Amino acid sequence: MHTLTIRPGKPEDIPQVFELIKELAIYEKALDQVETSVEQLTEDAFGEEPLYGLIVAEADHVLVGISIFYYRYSTWKGKRLYLEDILVTESFRGKGIGTKLFEATARHAHKHKCSGMNWLVLDWNEPAINFYKKFNAAIDPEWRLVGINAQQLETFVK
């Protein structure tokens, strides 16, 4: 039996976090879209102006899961926590680790006086959809993710 610890992430966790991010990208068939690096992830989480929060699941000194989140602002609802990703490595799935990470993230949101949490889920990712349904999460079919990439930004500002 592994000893599991759920705790805030630390700078020295980032190389393992990056490996988990790549594992998620492979699962979502999008490894070629990973543009970040260990250095960027470290700066963005632990630099002078942190951009995201990190909760990790550690089993025997190895990270087996992560929750990455940040704050956003809703003009209707105020301060919200946006759950960017929650991931448990494949060999540790089905052991309740995702639930513990989700609950720790929700407690963080509550402690920091967020009016709620939001996140996206791919429409084909039935295991994730079923996971979120366990928490009575509302899955809104009307809203669509919209964005532009760095090259489009460059073109726009010229």
From the candidates 52, 71, 73, 132, which is the catalytic residue? Answer: 132
Cα distance between residue 142 and residue 123, in whole Å? 12
Q: φ, ψ for residue 24 (rounded to 5)?
A: -65, -45
Cα distance between residue 98 and residue 15, in whole Å? 20
Q: What is residue 37's DSSP assignment?
A: -
Instruction: Classify the C-alpha dihedral 29-32-37-42 as positive or negative.
Output: negative
> Nearest 10 degrees: CA dihedral of 37, 42, 47, 51?
80
Question: Is 71 an active-site residue?
Answer: no
DSSP class per residue in 92-130: GTTSSHHHHHHHHHHHHHHHTT-S-EE----TT-HHHHH
Q: 3-state DSSP call for residue 32? A: helix
Which of the residues are catalytic?
Answer: 132
